[in-house]
Amino acid sequence: MIPAAFDYARPASLDEALTLLARGAGSAKVLAGGQSLLPLMRLRLASPAKLIDIGRIAELRAIRDLGGGATGIGALATYRDVLDSKLATHNHPILAGAIPGIGDVQVRNRGTLGGAIAHADPASDMPAILLALDASIVIRSGSGERVVGIDGFFQGAFATDLAEDEILTEIRLPATPAGAGMAYCSIEQPASGYSMVGVAAVVGRSDGSISSARVAITGVADVAYRATAVEKALIGSDAGSAAIDAAAAHATDGQEVSSDFNANAEYRAAMAVVHTSRAIEAAFAAAG
Ligand SMILES: Cc1cc2nc3c(=O)[nH]c(=O)nc-3n(C[C@H](O)[C@H](O)[C@H](O)COP(=O)(O)OP(=O)(O)OC[C@H]3O[C@@H](n4cnc5c(N)ncnc54)[C@H](O)[C@@H]3O)c2cc1C
């Protein structure tokens, strides 16, 4: 289908984009790589009156060294940019493991990390990965900048903490805790690559027991979530498979598990447990 008519602007700077967005008063939408927004417009599930194409604002594409193992990833960095960044993949190896499984070459070349998390598709991979990495999100509007923790950022299916006049500018990843390893395990919808279940784990070990754990799950509920009951059960336990399996059994605690034509709730819940075990084991295997 052909999208409804819309106005188009391509600002040269972030300030110009923010001014245009404020003037758009809810009827304008930011366009980054277009991999989610344009299909929605073609299906007429979205019909913004104006598109503000931020795709060529170079300052939003940088991947920066924040020192001490922390990394800043500009909102417009594409999946390909991140894969090509030795800094990002060295500091946070889960990115190198997970990104090749996202979409196809076009999606990875055009799709941006900022767009992926602003869109907040419940089956998207990056929300779980960024939750496990304890990311911070930098957000700008005409009235200034704010930095929010990832834990409160995703608020529901396709809903985030972003207001209509705000632009996500950077994703900040803190240094990995000493001795921690990380991994992402997913079961994908074969055609799109979206996760029916995706589990990201960052776990640390000290003196033979688990000293830190962040485990996050996507594709299973309306919104990606931290599996806090899994984390609680893991911390202090030995790294044996019985302890990991016992913790993973809590993968969907407190969640309303989704059911759709790809997978019913029972199957998703079972796969969430299996992939939580696998992600934790793989994270351990990768730990220093
Ligand atoms: C065929 C196909 C397969 C895919 N497979 C996968 C997959 O396997 N796993 C997966 O996780 N994803 C998958 N995706 C989704 C893909 O990851 C996202 O479409 C892409 O990352 C979105 O980024 P974008 O730059 O294209 O965003 P756009 O489509 O340009 O924008 C998406 C939304 O985010 C908003 N937005 C974008 N950037 C900003 C910003 N900086 N600040 C505020 N709002 C912003 C837009 O207004 C819009 O609402 C797939 C997509 C396609 C088309």
Task: Using most ligand atoms within 8 A of CB, pick from 35, 60, 95, 197 the residue to mutate for ligand 1.
Answer: 35
In terms of domains, do 112 and 206 share one? no
Residue minimizing CA distance to atom 49 of ligand 1 = 119
Tell me the sheet residues that pair with 187. 197
In terms of domains, do 196 and 260 share one? yes
Between the CA of 58 and the centroid of ligand 1 the distance, in Å, is 18
| The domain boundary residue, chosen from 145, 173, 201 | 173
26 occurs within a structural domain:
yes
Q: Are 70 and 175 in contact (CB under 8 A)?
A: yes
For the stretch 99-112, pLDDT in tens is 999 999 999 999 99
CATH code at position 45: 3.30.43.10
In terms of domains, do 154 and 201 share one? no
Residues 6+ apart with CB under 8 A from 88: 63, 71, 73, 82, 95, 173
The confidence score (pLDDT) of residue 177 equals: 86
User: Measuring CA to CA, how many Å separate 122 from each of 37, 146, 204, 266?
Assistant: 15, 24, 27, 18
CATH code at position 143: 3.30.465.10
pLDDT confidence tier of residue 288, bands split at 50, 70 and 90: low
- Evaluate if residue 18 carries a pLDDT over 70: yes
273 occurs within a structural domain:
yes
- Mean pLDDT of the 119-136 span: 97
20 occurs within a structural domain:
yes
The confidence score (pLDDT) of residue 157 equals: 96
CATH code at position 272: 3.30.390.50
114 occurs within a structural domain:
yes
The number of folded domains in the chain is 3
In terms of domains, do 200 and 120 share one? no
Q: Considering only 19-28, 55-64, 127-136, 182-191, which range has the smallest mean pLDDT? A: 19-28
The confidence score (pLDDT) of residue 38 equals: 96
For the stretch 206-218, pLDDT in tens is 888 899 999 999 9
In terms of domains, do 48 and 111 share one? no
In terms of domains, do 162 and 234 share one? no
In terms of domains, do 81 and 105 share one? yes
In terms of domains, do 196 and 233 share one? yes
- Mean pLDDT of the 29-55 span: 95
- Evaluate if residue 120 carries a pLDDT over 70: yes
271 occurs within a structural domain:
yes
Nearest to 36 by CA among 99, 100, 136, 114: 114
Question: Which of helix, strand or coil describes residue 210?
Answer: strand
Q: Are 102 and 108 in contact (CB under 8 A)?
A: yes
The confidence score (pLDDT) of residue 264 equals: 96
2 occurs within a structural domain:
no
Residue minimizing CA distance to atom 5 of ligand 1 = 103
- Mean pLDDT of the 21-33 span: 91
Residue 166 is encoded by which pair of tokens? 């705000």
139 occurs within a structural domain:
yes
| The domain boundary residue, chosen from 173, 199, 218 | 173
In terms of domains, do 227 and 155 share one? no
99 occurs within a structural domain:
yes
Which atom of ligand 1 approaches the CA of 113 most closely?
Answer: 21
Which atom of ligand 1 approaches the CA of 38 most closely?
Answer: 29
Share of the chain above pLDDT 90, in %: 90
In terms of domains, do 133 and 187 share one? no
In terms of domains, do 78 and 49 share one? no
Residue minimizing CA distance to atom 25 of ligand 1 = 33
Share of the chain above pLDDT 70, in %: 100
Between the CA of 184 and the centroid of ligand 1 the distance, in Å, is 19
For the stretch 265-283, pLDDT in tens is 999 999 999 999 999 999 9
Which atom of ligand 1 approaches the CA of 118 most closely?
Answer: 34
Domain limits for position 16: 7-53
Between the CA of 106 and the centroid of ligand 1 the distance, in Å, is 12
| The domain boundary residue, chosen from 173, 198, 215 | 173
Backbone phi, psi, residue 61, to 5°: -105, -5
Average pLDDT, the chain: 95
Residue minimizing CA distance to atom 17 of ligand 1 = 116
- Which residues approach ligand 1 with their CB closer than 6 A? 29-37, 39, 75, 102-103, 107, 110-112, 114-116, 118-119, 124-126, 162, 167-168, 192-194
In terms of domains, do 23 and 76 share one? no
pLDDT confidence tier of residue 192, bands split at 50, 70 and 90: confident
Residue minimizing CA distance to atom 53 of ligand 1 = 35
- Mean pLDDT of the 51-70 span: 97
The confidence score (pLDDT) of residue 2 equals: 87
